[in-house]
Amino acid sequence: MGKIPKLRRMDILEDARDTRERLRRGHIVKTILEIVGTAGLLTTAILAPNAVSALYGDTTSKQKRWYIWKTIKQMEHTGLLSKKGVGIRSHYELTPMGRAKVADYEIGKLTIRKPMRWDHKWRLVIFDIQEKKRTARDELRDTLEMLDFQKLQNSVWVHPYPCAEIISLIKRKHNLAKDILYLEVDVLENDSWLRDIFFLNN
């Protein structure tokens, strides 16, 4: 195998550094958003040594605190955070875009818990979402598929296990409270194929 030319090696190393940088910044952005989502706001306490250590997983330094502060300012610039107040009383809050991003992280962790015994009820999600909200509609379908819902029609999906809280989270994430209906029904005609899919015939 021939040697990689020196300039090409430099390009590869630079690409690797860029990749590590994006991954590190992505981790910090995610952690900051989750902190603000839990606490409700973000103050300069995020730059305290123990907080910086939690973000980096190692010892702290002025350079790392500066990097976190730079990331926060970029998050403000991109619309994830909004600064409130001035001086030592200033703090950051989530914007609607920031709240949606936090919801994305939460939804990505979601699973519908399978109970010991099925209660013989079907959970239906029915939605009527306007074309101007097409992106939210497509993301909703992707999320339902991820959660193992089965499609009865394009806008009607079904699952056998309780998931009201998850659907409420999805509604908030996409601002679709008036567009999505969640139902629990005792009878669903011709459901034998669904029972087969979810192994409910035993």
* Domain CATH for 20: 1.10.10.10
Q: What is the mean pLDDT of residues 110-135?
A: 91
- Give bridge partners of residue 24 from the DSSP assignment: none
Please indicate, yes or no, whether residues 20 and 77 belong to a single structural domain of this protein: yes
Please indicate, yes or no, whether residues 189 and 117 belong to a single structural domain of this protein: yes
Last residue within a domain, chosen from 52, 73, 101:
101
Please indicate, yes or no, whether residues 93 and 179 belong to a single structural domain of this protein: no
Name the residue with higher pLDDT: 89 or 161.
Answer: 161
Please indicate, yes or no, whether residues 179 and 92 belong to a single structural domain of this protein: no
Last residue within a domain, chosen from 101, 131, 156:
101
pLDDT at residue 127 in the model: 95
pLDDT at residue 45 in the model: 54
pLDDT at residue 181 in the model: 95
pTM for this entry: 0.58
Please indicate, yes or no, whether residues 97 and 46 belong to a single structural domain of this protein: yes
pLDDT at residue 16 in the model: 39
Residue 17 has pLDDT above 50, yes or no: no
- Rounded-to-integer distance, Cα 160 and Cα 186, Å: 10
Q: What is the mean pLDDT of residues 61-77?
A: 77
Contact 125, 131 (CB under 8 A): no
Q: 1-5, 59-63, 88-92, 158-162: which range is least confident on average?
A: 1-5
* Total domains in the fold of the chain: 2
Please indicate, yes or no, whether residues 153 and 85 belong to a single structural domain of this protein: no
- Rounded-to-integer distance, Cα 130 and Cα 111, Å: 27
3-class SS letters over the chain: CCCCCHHHHHHHHHHHHHHHHHHHHHHHHHHHHHHHHHHCCECHHHHCHHHHHHHHCCCCCHHHHHHHHHHHHHHHHCCCEEEECCHHHCEEEECHHHHHHHHHHHHHCCCCCCCCCCCCCEEEEEECCCHHHHHHHHHHHHHHHHCCCEEEECCEEEECCCCHHHHHHHHHHHCCCCCEEEEEECCCCCCHHHHHHCCCCC
Query: Which amino acid type is present at position 149?
Result: F
pLDDT at residue 179 in the model: 93
Average pLDDT, the chain: 77
- Give bridge partners of residue 84 from the DSSP assignment: 91
Q: What is the mean pLDDT of residues 181-189?
A: 95
Please indicate, yes or no, whether residues 131 and 72 belong to a single structural domain of this protein: no
Residue 107 maps to a domain: no
pLDDT at residue 24 in the model: 57
CATH no. for residue 192? Answer: 3.30.70.240
pLDDT at residue 4 in the model: 43
Q: What is the mean pLDDT of residues 43-68?
A: 59
pLDDT at residue 197 in the model: 93
Contact 73, 66 (CB under 8 A): no
pLDDT cut 90: percent of the chain above it: 27
Residue 90 maps to a domain: yes
Last residue within a domain, chosen from 51, 67, 101:
101
Please indicate, yes or no, whether residues 21 and 62 belong to a single structural domain of this protein: yes
Please indicate, yes or no, whether residues 32 and 63 belong to a single structural domain of this protein: yes
pLDDT band, very low/low/confident/very high, at 128 (cuts 50, 70, 90): very high
User: Which of 141, 172, 167, 165 has the alpha carbon at shortest distance from 155?
Assistant: 141
Q: 65-74, 178-187, 188-197: which range is least confident on average?
A: 65-74
Structural domain that includes position 148: 113-197
pLDDT at residue 117 in the model: 92
Residue 108 maps to a domain: no
